[in-house]
């Protein structure tokens, strides 16, 4: 098997590592910086930690915060139009996956002779125009590690990933201070998203020795820390581990790819605007239960890594342990387990089955093929 992975070339970690931004700006000789964020981050005051470092360099900066969570491609286009009037030789994104994805898209769109609609049709067109620095403020998407950017497509009431090597971030700053005060429900949703990346990538048909290494490291960090990070917001060790686990999960995505959990989750985000981590969490254990017979060995290997006391147990028992752990984590972190509270009901089933089955980019990675009936049965389990 021939395999490859593209990873960011400069990675800083540890509480307080945002101070490295000064070094990055100086190394890049950046005199004008484009900062991407959103109003939620501005309200936390976190941006000041970034501005303090930039101000030490004397560089000018411009802040773009006009972005909603889980943006549609038109929202990114509007942001891009705003940024088009400003010069800059470095992009810094400080935010969750929504901000980082939008910033990555802007890094290939600024000054380009193609637009975002062209990229949706042909992601191969993308060429990096400006280097990027990613400062994640959630502990989930791993977008800081990936070449992917995900946007909603309102016309199709779904979401689509734009994937191109040139969107790989140049610098990543994993500072756990960013998630110190992250609201608990976002710790939960983004943390389970990261766990889904790890487990889906490890069980993916496209898994490689490299993706397996990162997926397993990610699974260990997240299984062992997500409950603590949720229950005790001041547990900074757990939070640092979550940040690293999410980053490793991102590398695993680039190296292999997520599977049916993410595929079936896209229409839930695209049409009903359910947060990405929440829609994944609702489907996660059910999809793994469906996959169990085809992914038994992989799930058992995850069990060996996170729960070695079960070494003597059979594959079946180990695989079930992982599925039960996933369900328990979703329950402990108080994420809804049904679509009821989002107003989704049986009348939406046909739409969901049709839109879910169109996510072939990810469904092909699933070790067990899903028929339309299989997809219907999975959605039925989470409908009221």
Ligand X SMILES: NC(=O)c1ccc[n+]([C@@H]2O[C@H](COP(=O)([O-])OP(=O)(O)OC[C@H]3O[C@@H](n4cnc5c(N)ncnc54)[C@H](O)[C@@H]3O)[C@@H](O)[C@H]2O)c1
Q: Which does 137 bind (CB under 5 to 8 A by kind): ligand X, Zn ion, none?
A: ligand X
Point out which span in 20-28, 187-195, 302-310, 327-335 binds Zn ion (CB under 5 A): 187-195
Q: Which does 303 bind (CB under 5 to 8 A by kind): Zn ion, ligand X, none?
A: none
Binding mask 50-89 for ligand X (x = CB under 6 A): -------------------xx-------------------
Kindly state whether residue 193 participates in binding Zn ion, applying the rule CB under 5 A.
yes
Kindly state whether residue 115 participates in binding ligand X, applying the rule CB under 6 A.
no
Query: Which listed residue (175, 277, 298, 363) binds ligand X by CB under 6 A?
Result: 277
CA 240, CA 378: separation in Å to the nearest integer? Answer: 34
Question: Least distance in Å: CB of 50 to ligand X?
Answer: 12
The answer to whether residues 106 and 91 touch, using CB atoms and an 8 Å cutoff, is yes
Site for ligand X (CB under 6 A): how many residues?
35
Please report which helix (H) or strand (E) contains residue 33, including its range. strand 32-36
* Closest to 9 in 3D by CA, of 98, 94, 134: 134
* Closest to 256 in 3D by CA, of 199, 326, 194: 199
Measure CA 194 to chain center: 6
Query: Which listed residue (96, 123, 169, 267) binds ligand X by CB under 6 A?
Result: 96
DSSP character string of 49-90? HHHHHHHTTT-EEEEE----SS-BHHHHHHHHHHHTTS--SE
Site for Zn ion (CB under 5 A): how many residues?
1
CA 45, CA 89: separation in Å to the nearest integer? Answer: 25
Question: Least distance in Å: CB of 146 to Zn ion?
Answer: 10
* Beta carbon nearer to Zn ion, 75 or 193: 193
Question: Least distance in Å: CB of 321 to ligand X?
Answer: 26
Residue with nearest beta carbon to ligand X: 40
* Beta carbon nearer to Zn ion, 119 or 278: 278
Q: Which does 148 bind (CB under 5 to 8 A by kind): ligand X, Zn ion, none?
A: ligand X
Binding mask 143-182 for Zn ion (x = CB under 5 A): ----------------------------------------
* Closest to 107 in 3D by CA, of 46, 158, 52, 149: 149
Please report which helix (H) or strand (E) contains residue 287, including its range. helix 276-306
Question: Least distance in Å: CB of 296 to ligand X?
Answer: 26
Secondary structure of residue 143 in the 3-state scheme: helix
CA 54, CA 108: separation in Å to the nearest integer? Answer: 23
Start-to-end CA span in the chain (Å)? 44
* Beta carbon nearer to Zn ion, 17 or 102: 102
* Beta carbon nearer to ligand X, 189 or 352: 189
Query: Which listed residue (5, 61, 80, 97) binds ligand X by CB under 6 A?
Result: 97
CA 380, CA 116: separation in Å to the nearest integer? Answer: 35
The size of the chain, in residues, is 384
Residue with nearest beta carbon to Zn ion: 193
CA 38, CA 103: separation in Å to the nearest integer? Answer: 11
* Beta carbon nearer to ligand X, 59 or 172: 172
Question: Least distance in Å: CB of 138 to Zn ion?
Answer: 11
CA 101, CA 109: separation in Å to the nearest integer? Answer: 12
DSSP class of 166: G
Contacting residues toward ligand X, per CB under 6 A: 38, 40-41, 44, 46, 69-70, 95-99, 101, 137-138, 140-143, 146, 148-150, 159, 178-179, 181-183, 186, 190, 250, 253, 276-277
Contacting residues toward Zn ion, per CB under 5 A: 193
């Amino acid at each position: 098997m021939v395999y490859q992975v593209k990873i960011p070339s400069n990675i800083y970690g540890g509480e307080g590592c945002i101070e490295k931004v000064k070094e990055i700006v100086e190394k890049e000789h950046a005199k004008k910086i484009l900062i991407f964020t959103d109003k939620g981050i501005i309200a936390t005051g976190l941006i000041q930690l970034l501005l303090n470092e930039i101000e030490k360099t004397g560089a000018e900066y411009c802040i773009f915060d006009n972005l909603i969570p889980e943006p549609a491609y038109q929202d990114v286009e509007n942001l891009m139009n705003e940024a088009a009037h400003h010069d800059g030789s470095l992009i810094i994104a400080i935010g969750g996956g929504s901000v980082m994805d939008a910033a990555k898209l802007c890094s290939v769109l600024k000054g380009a002779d193609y637009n975002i609609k062209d990229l949706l049709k042909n992601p191969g067109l993308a060429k990096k125009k400006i280097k990027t620095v990613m400062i994640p403020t959630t502990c989930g998407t791993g977008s800081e590690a990936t070449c992917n950017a995900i946007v909603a497509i309102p016309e199709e009431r779904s979401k689509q990933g734009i994937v191109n090597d040139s969107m790989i971030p140049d610098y990543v700053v994993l500072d756990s201070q960013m998630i110190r005060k992250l609201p608990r429900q976002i710790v939960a949703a983004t943390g389970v998203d990261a766990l889904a990346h790890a487990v889906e990538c490890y069980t993916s048909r496209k898994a490689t020795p490299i993706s397996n290494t990162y997926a397993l490291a990610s699974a260990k960090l997240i299984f062992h820390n997500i409950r603590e990070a949720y229950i005790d917001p001041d547990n900074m060790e757990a939070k640092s581990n979550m940040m690293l686990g999410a980053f490793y999960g991102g590398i695993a995505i680039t190296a292999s790819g997520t599977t049916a959990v993410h595929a079936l989750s896209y229409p839930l985000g695209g049409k009903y605007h359910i947060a990405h981590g929440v829609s994944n969490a609702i489907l996660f254990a059910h999809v793994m239960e469906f996959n169990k017979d085809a992914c038994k060995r992989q799930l058992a290997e995850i069990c060996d890594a996170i729960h070695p006391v079960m070494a003597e147990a059979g594959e079946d028992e180990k695989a079930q342990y992982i599925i039960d752990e996933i369900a328990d984590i979703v329950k402990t972190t108080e994420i809804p387990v049904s679509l009821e509270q989002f107003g989704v009901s049986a009348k939406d089933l046909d739409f969901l089955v049709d839109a879910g089955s169109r996510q072939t980019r990810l469904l092909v990675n699933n070790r067990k093929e899903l028929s339309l009936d299989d997809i219907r049965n999975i959605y039925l389990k989470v409908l009221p």
